[in-house]
């Protein structure tokens, strides 16, 4: 076989005088990772063939041959009978070559009116749209589990922290609802991202459109897109939608990393606020007493790779001229790994969160130890007519006594408190209890148990 014939084995080899270097062939191939797009590639090809038949570019018989052949190729892939070839570079050419092998010259007509540039852009959008829907379902499951746990723990008192120092008492349910708020924003961002994913570039061809009488609205309708894209140059080179998804993912994983940090702290012997089921933990190879919160730790660590993928995609696109460039082959691995990481993290958390057991006594004792009702005492004095700055100083002195004598404010006698202000009366003990403190914050967004339950109901309504 001549070099000319060897180069012509490529679908684009007609103008080349020698075959591709073996290393370059492997280096430039993407089939090892883009083969996961096979389902979406075949779906797009079925819609493209259907449209070509409707506008008269293919006959009805040719369309039927192509669709039957594509479904046979799909079956081969799904049943493990398909042999992927690096020499065919990518998922698109592997499928097209196998189709042509099965049905003959008609298979070569499938590529009429399109290019691999608009084909891959369409495949990625179809893939990402499906993955967004799967991620949205897992995110909803996690949110539902959080709401159930928050409702169950609406009355459980724990210390609220600033600077990781005891600040004021809150309820565990209220704390969990803070996580739920973050996830609700994430869910909104994900659905907003989906709108920009769900536009169809197919028909833009290589960069300028095609001379064939295609009808892109037909293909868009068949594939469930909201509309076709408007500009052929932008259609084949746009990866904003992938960057936007990775931006969503980075923020979601940042939120989950924050949850993870608290879960790791709370399961430690020093806090002992919660217990995670054994099935979400591992042990030590040398220390038999250890129960390590590996799931939260691993999720906390995975945020780094997702953040890295976002930066990779931003950097990938920053200097590209219009229209398509080979650089864009590098969009898939960061995107695929981001999808896999987010789905796995959400699944683990959606399974784990509802199974958390709160150690209510330990939480309450921690809240009692940290002078967490000091602000309540200051508020009490202000309501009695003391200026806030004076009230702040009075309470500070009372706390100093408590530190010296190892007493919480609620454990002091009335006489001990009155040495700092004779404004303090017997009714002060109504506000110095932990229960009184959380109950007093009975307003929208507050930590009072009734407000927590009402917030859960509202969040469930929005989730539904």
Active-site annotation holds for 163: yes
Q: CB burial class (10 A; 0-12, 13-18, 19+) of residue 287?
A: exposed
Six-digit token string for 116: 């691999």
CB under 8 Å to 371, separation ≥6 — which residues?
166, 399, 402, 408, 409
In angstroms, rounded to a whole number, what is the distance separating the alpha carbons of residues 93 and 78? 18
Q: Mention every residue, 6+ apart, whose C-beta is less than 8 A from residue 453.
A: 151, 154, 173
Q: Say if CB 104 and CB 191 are below 8 A apart.
A: no
284 assigned to active site: yes
**Which of 439, 437, 464 has its CA nearest to residue 452?**
439
Backbone angles phi, psi at 161, to 5 degrees: -120, 145
Candidate list 8, 163, 392, 421, residue with the active-site label: 163
How many Å apart are CA 28 and CA 393, to the nearest integer? 71
Cα dihedral across residues 419, 421, 165, 436: positive or negative = positive
At 255, list the tokens.
Answer: 């939120």
Active-site choice (17, 85, 268, 284):
284
Between CA 273 and CA 365 the distance in angstroms is: 10
Helices (H), 109-154: 116-152
DSSP secondary structure letters along 193-254? HHHHHSEE-TT-TTTT--SS---HHHHHHHHT-SEE-S-HHHHHH--HHHHHHHHHHHHHHH
Contact 326, 287 (CB under 8 A): no
b/e map 162-189, b = 16+ CB within 10 Å:
eeeebbbbbbbbbbbbebbbbbbebbeb
Using only C-alpha atoms, the chain has a radius of gyration, in whole angstroms, of 31
CB atoms < 10 A from the CB of 93, how many? 19
Report, as residue numbers or ranges, the catalytic residues: 163, 284
């Amino acid at each position: 076989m001549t070099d000319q014939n060897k180069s012509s084995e490529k679908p684009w080899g007609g103008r080349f005088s020698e075959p591709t270097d073996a290393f370059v062939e492997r280096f430039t191939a993407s089939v090892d990772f883009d083969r996961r797009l096979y389902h979406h590639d075949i779906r797009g090809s079925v819609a493209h063939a259907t449209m070509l038949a409707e506008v008269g570019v293919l006959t009805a018989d040719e369309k039927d041959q192509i669709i039957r052949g594509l479904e046979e190729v799909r079956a081969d892939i799904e049943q493990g009978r398909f042999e992927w070839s690096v020499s065919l570079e990518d998922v698109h050419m592997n499928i097209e070559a196998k189709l042509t092998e099965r049905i003959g010259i008609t298979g070569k007509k499938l590529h009429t009116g399109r290019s691999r540039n608009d084909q891959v852009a369409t495949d990625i959008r179809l893939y990402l749209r499906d993955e967004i829907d799967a991620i949205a379902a897992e995110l909803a499951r996690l949110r539902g589990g959080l709401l159930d746990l928050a409702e169950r723990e609406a009355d459980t008192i724990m210390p609220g922290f600033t600077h990781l120092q005891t600040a004021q008492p809150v309820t565990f349910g209220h704390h969990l609802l803070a996580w739920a708020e973050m996830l609700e924003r994430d869910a909104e961002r994900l659905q907003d991202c989906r709108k920009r994913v769900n536009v169809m570039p197919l028909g833009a061809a290589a960069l300028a459109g095609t001379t064939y009488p295609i009808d892109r609205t037909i293909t868009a309708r068949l594939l469930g897109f909201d509309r076709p894209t408007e500009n052929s140059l932008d259609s084949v080179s746009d990866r904003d939608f992938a960057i936007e998804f990775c931006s969503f993912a980075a923020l979601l994983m940042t939120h989950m990393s924050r949850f993870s940090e608290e879960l790791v702290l709370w399961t430690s012997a020093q806090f002992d606020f919660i217990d995670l089921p054994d099935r979400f933990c591992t042990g030590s190879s040398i220390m038999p007493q250890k129960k390590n919160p590996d799931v939260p730790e691993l999720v906390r660590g995975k945020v780094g790779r997702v953040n890295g993928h976002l930066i990779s995609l931003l950097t990938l696109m920053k200097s590209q001229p219009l229209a398509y460039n080979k650089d864009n082959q590098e969009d898939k691995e960061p995107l695929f790994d981001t999808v896999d990481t987010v789905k796995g993290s959400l699944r683990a958390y959606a399974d784990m969160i509802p199974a958390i057991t709160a150690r209510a006594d330990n939480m309450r004792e921690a809240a009692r130890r940290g002078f967490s009702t000091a602000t309540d005492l200051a508020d009490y004095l202000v309501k009695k007519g003391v200026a806030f700055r004076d009230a702040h100083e009075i309470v500070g002195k009372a706390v100093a006594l408590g530190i010296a004598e190892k007493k919480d404010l609620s454990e002091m006698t009335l006489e001990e408190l009155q040495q700092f202000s004779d404004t303090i009366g017997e009714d002060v003990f109504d506000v110095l209890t932990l229960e009184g403190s959380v109950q007093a914050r009975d307003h929208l967004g507050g930590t009072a148990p009734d407000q927590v339950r009402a917030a859960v109901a509202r969040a469930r309504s929005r989730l539904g």
